[in-house]
Amino acid sequence: MEMLCEVMSKKYFPIIRKMIAEILIYEKGYTQQEVGEILGITQAAVSQYLKETRGKSKKIKIPSSLKKEIHSMANVLPLQPLEERKYYLCHFCKIIRKEIDSSKVIIPKHCP
């Protein structure tokens, strides 16, 4: 059995980062460098998300309610101070955790 953090970082976070990067670049007009700074990743990682060499998964279906959350986060994330920005993935972890079969992952006691 995997830890919840492992499942999130391998399967969900790349998709979420990809979606946010696409919104910020294609809808908001940010550069790859700016998106990298906003998301706390490199410009090269942003490029890979856009080319779909990262963050591409046919197995994971993102529910429409989560897509709305991702879009909302893309709108507010650039406006947040850097110190607060680094916790944006925690927000999605809390949402997705409700959907994951808890018998198949280990949820650490420190998770809120």
Report yes or no on 8 lying in a domain. yes
Give the count of domains, the chain.
1
| Residue 3 parent element (H or E) | strand 2-3
What pLDDT does 112 receive?
61
What digits encode the pLDDT tens for the residues 90-111?
888 888 887 777 777 887 776 6
Does residue 112 fall inside a structural domain? Answer: no
pTM score, two decimals? 0.86
Helix ranges (H only) for 1-112 are 4-7, 13-22, 32-39, 43-51, 64-76, 82-85, 88-97
Contact (Cβ atoms closer than 8 angstroms) between residue 61 and residue 11: no
Task: Kindly state whether residue 74 falls inside one of the protein's structural domains.
Answer: yes
Spell out, as residue ranges, where the chain has pLDDT lower than 70.
58, 110-112
**Does residue 72 belong to any structural domain of this protein?**
yes
Domain of residue 79, residue span:
2-106
- Whether 111 is in a domain gets the answer no
Q: Is 106 helix (H, G, I), strand (E, B) or coil?
A: strand
Enumerate residues 6+ apart whose C-beta is below 8 A from 92. Answer: 8, 12, 13, 16, 66, 69, 70, 73
Half-sphere exposure of 8 (CA within 13 A, CB side): 21
User: What pLDDT score does 87 carry?
Assistant: 84
Tell me whether residue 63 is in a domain: yes
